[in-house]
Structure 1
């Protein structure tokens, strides 16, 4: 996709900031994320920590040219690994007590539209030459 260079660059740095911020948020607000981890997965606190570390490391790796492609692939894999949490959130009625509660249709939009758009945002930079 041919984007104006300024838009492409701005979008890239927003991507870096978005995933860096998301990673930091896993440590600042673990009680937001832990209830979203499906009950069939062991060690939810550990999963939350690993997810946060991966988002931080991958986002910063985007800034290192020799690591950029691997970091982009890593983000796509990570986003795919988050899909069970989105499905689980729908299964539990789109509401976590004392935390995130949304209308079920918003949870579906998040899974079927927003999550693929996030993957597409990463893939946009995976396909670029620079």
Structure 2
């Protein structure tokens, strides 16, 4: 009985993570102006980075749906999340506020980096098998 509950939980979690990254990826195209100020100034090609990030999130989410590509997609999501770390650090350096955009208390930016980001990595790791 416990195995079936875990299988149902993992399936529900899989659908949730796929939906999460599909929405996040699509949002890069729906509201690109939200993401531009979050990309560190020292990185060139802000618009290209935004498009590549959005496409990566969508494609990797789709890859999670299929057993043959699930492990690779999960590992690439983890790599992508690691690649996003400079943006999180940059947001902290800005004090949690970007010019004419997202503004949260600085502690929220820290929680995003130190708590939410590792949870997202663990979530992808759980779905690698």
Q: Structure 2 length normalisation: TM-score?
A: 0.94
Matching residue of 2:79: 77
Question: Matched residues in 2 for 1:6 and 1:64: separation?
Answer: 17
Ranges in structure 1 where 5+ consecutive residues have no aligned partner = none
Matching residue of 1:120: 122
Runs of 4+, deviation exceeding 2 Å = none
Cα RMSD between the aligned structures? 1.2
Matching residue of 1:6: 8
Matching residue of 2:93: 91
Q: Structure 1 length normalisation: TM-score?
A: 0.93
Question: Matched residues in 1 for 2:53 and 2:103: separation?
Answer: 22
Cα-to-partner distance string for 1:82-106 (whole Å, 9 max, x where unaligned): 0000000010111012211000011
Matching residue of 2:112: 110
Higher share in helix: 2
The equivalent position to 2:47 in structure 1, one of 41, 45, 48, is 45
Question: Matched residues in 2 for 1:62 and 1:116: separation?
Answer: 19
Ranges in structure 2 where 5+ consecutive residues have no aligned partner = none
Question: Matched residues in 1 for 2:57 and 2:78: separation?
Answer: 11
Matching residue of 1:26: 28
Name the SS of the counterpart of 2:127 in structure 1: helix
Aligned residue pair count = 126
CA positional deviation for 1:107 = 0.4
Question: Matched residues in 2 for 1:43 and 1:97: separation?
Answer: 18
